[in-house]
Amino acid sequence: MKLSFMLSEIASGLRRNLSMVVSVILVTFVSLTFVGSAALLQAQVGKMKGYWYDKVQVAIYLCSPSPETTHCTAGTDGNYLAATEEQTKGIEAVLNSAELKPYIESWEYESVQDAYKNFQEQYGNRSMAESVKPEQLPASFRVKLVDPEKYDVINERFSSLPGVDTVLDQRQYLNTVFGVINTASLVAVIIAVVMLVCAVLLVATTIRLSAFTRRRETGIMRLVGASKSVIQTPFVLEGVLAAAIGAVLASGVLWAVLQFVVQDRLAQQNLSMAFIDPSEMLWVGPGLLLLGILLAWGSSLLTLRRYLKV
Amino acid sequence: MIRFDHVTKVYDAPDKPALNDVDLEVDRGDFAFLVGASGSGKSTFIRLVLREERATRGAVHVAGTNVDALASWKVPRLRRNIGVVFQDFRLLPQKTVFANVAFAMQVIGKSRAMIRETVPQVLATVGLDGKANRLPHELSGGEQQRVAIARAVVNRPAILLADEPTGNLDPETSRGIMEILETINQNGTTVVMATHDDEIVNRMRKRVIELDHGRVIRDERGGEYHAVGDRLVLPSAGQAIAPFDSEEDEL
């Protein structure tokens, strides 16, 4: 069949069913926007993980007289005892041991004085900073891991050593943030699935209606010996075209959000955080287009098998 | 060209087959009338040739092929070799005369150049020169049927099936249609026409196959036919061979 003839058939089909076609476009648009949002949220989580995991460390806090200490032995006066020189050396030895070599990228010691200095730098302008004395702050080892996920190895090895108060994985602060984002993308996925079911059913209904309004043409096509593909292709393309338009709209909206909301506002206001940029749409956009086309194609073929006798 | 080999077709009631052990052959270049009261099996005959239905028992051969055994993807190829005309014309109302005839060529992938060359020729054959740009509703019934015939033969099928082609037309117009069918037949196309119209049958003196309750009760060359006063219960338009119904289809 000639392309121009096929195109004019599709155009006439779209015209006859205009309101249905518009609703297919809108439903695919909304559903694919949710699918795309979920993908972008996941990309954002990935980006933040990469950014923060480079910076986060495992902190091994040593015993100190601070009242927040939990796992240290108390002295005769009721105060906790600070870690001794000897204990500190012991921990250092373990950090340098061959056993932990594969896990540790680097480590540094933060003495009580360093801790005090950092604390003052961070909170110096607040009144509480004045009441904190150096000896209340714990000294610590800051350990950077080769693989941040291997925190448990460090925790197991160090938490029971004498002089160690707690082993803290700074990732746990981030995990709360990631948890929120993951929940958001899960919600987006659920809404997307519901909307996609709507889109598939709507495509099926539209194709059915279209096949009904054009049953004269298809009847004549059958009688003069048009092949199955010639009869069906205009219908399939009609659904696919509507879904593709919806996907393009969804990609456009997501791109606009990335460009004008994330890039121009969020990223400007939170310079210390990493954000995804509009270039993510280079893979999300084609993905949405492909998904929309596949769904419309599958759903219209199934419908035609039932409602268009060939 | 068309051979029915002890064909029986049962739809729903096994004791009332639509065709009952029909065994006949229509040769290449034949002109055959298929006559009989409504419900006698004429339409079923045509549907079996087109492979709209399959025989319950026996075999239908068209141009040497057993159509019952034909794979469904080969059916379009079979139908390209058969032209069909109906009582209700079945033209596409939004398309011009030219476009209606061209449609049959477009959907089987004929080139634009070929369409531009062939369609006017065929329209001239059926006596519609100068009306190529009219819409179907601007034409008389006889002219509409001529368009339908042009569409049926534009791809040069070996067989032309006509199901009550004159059923909606007055006797004068019908004669014109019959002349066209005869010309087509003289050019080598096998024509099978189902009809009630005894006047036409008796004037043409062609082969007559009479069906009654699914059985062939008469098959003679140059035969006559006298309808037995059932003309008032003629099947309505589109009752016969209906891959789609014929009511207006705008929603």
Say whether pLDDT at A87 is over 70.
yes
Q: What is the pLDDT of residue A286?
A: 95
A134 and A203 belong to one structural domain: no
Say whether pLDDT at A77 is over 90.
no
**Which of A169, A201, A223 marks a domain boundary?**
A169
Gap between the Cα atoms of B164 and A64, Å rounded: 107
Q: What is the pLDDT of residue B236?
A: 46
Confidence bin at A284 (pLDDT 50/70/90)? very high
- For range A24-37, the mean pLDDT: 92
Q: What is the pLDDT of residue B246?
A: 44
Q: Which residue has the tokens 């559903």?
A: A31
A40 and A26 belong to one structural domain: yes
Size of the A and B interface in Cβ pairs below 8 Å: 74
Q: Which of A301, A297, A296, A242 is nearest to A21 (CA)?
A: A242
Gap between the Cα atoms of A252 and A205, Å rounded: 27
**Which of A104, A137, A169 marks a domain boundary?**
A169
Q: What is the pLDDT of residue B162?
A: 95
User: CB-based contact (8 Å) between A126 and chain B?
Assistant: no
Looking at the structure of chain A, the number of domains it has is 2
A79 and A200 belong to one structural domain: no
A 3-32 residues inside an 8 A Cβ radius of B = 5
pLDDT digits (tens, 9 = 90+) for B123-144: 999 999 999 999 999 999 999 9
pLDDT digits (tens, 9 = 90+) for A123-159: 666 666 677 777 777 888 888 888 777 788 888 888 8
A199 and A300 belong to one structural domain: yes
Say whether pLDDT at A91 is over 90.
no
A132 and A186 belong to one structural domain: no
The residue among B106, B144, B241, B247 with the most chain A CBs within 10 A of its CB, best to mutate, is B106
A-chain residues near B82 (CB < 8 A): 225
Which CATH number goes with the domain that contains A76? 3.30.70.3040
Complex prediction ipTM: 0.81
**Which of A111, A142, A169 marks a domain boundary?**
A169
- Per the rule left: phi > 0, alpha: psi between -120 and 50, beta: everything else, B51 is left
A108 and A231 belong to one structural domain: no
**Å between B233 CA and nearest CA of chain A:** 26
Q: Among A46-50, A180-184, B59-63, name the one with the lowest average pLDDT.
A: A46-50
A165 and A179 belong to one structural domain: no
DSSP string, B100-159: HHHHHHHTTT--HHHHHHHHHHHHHHTT-TT-TT--GGGS-HHHHHHHHHHHHHTT--SE
- For range A52-69, the mean pLDDT: 75
Residue among B76, B82, B106 minimizing CB distance to A2: B106
Structural domains in chain B plus CATH codes: 1-81+158-227 (3.40.50.300), 91-156 (no CATH)
Residue among A220, A225, A226 minimizing CB distance to B90: A220
A15 and A116 belong to one structural domain: no
B25 residue type, one letter: E
Higher model confidence: residue B212 or residue A62? B212
A48 and A164 belong to one structural domain: no
Highest mean pLDDT among A181-190, A194-203, A241-250: A241-250
A123 and A197 belong to one structural domain: no
User: CB-based contact (8 Å) between A216 and chain B?
Assistant: yes
Q: What is the pLDDT of residue B131?
A: 93
A79 and A23 belong to one structural domain: no
A84 residue type, one letter: T
A-chain residues near B250 (CB < 8 A): 213
Q: Give the domain range for residue A32.
A: 3-52+175-307
∠ CA A6-A10-A12, nearest 5°, is 115
The enclosing H or E element of A158 equals helix A151-158
**Beta carbons of A213 and B251 less than 8 Å apart:** yes
Residue A246: CA count within 13 A, CB half-sphere: 36
B-chain residues near A1 (CB < 8 A): 106-109
A74 and A212 belong to one structural domain: no
Which residues of chain B are under the pLDDT cut of 70? 227-251
- For range A276-287, the mean pLDDT: 90
Confidence bin at A171 (pLDDT 50/70/90)? confident
Q: What is the pLDDT of residue A75?
A: 67
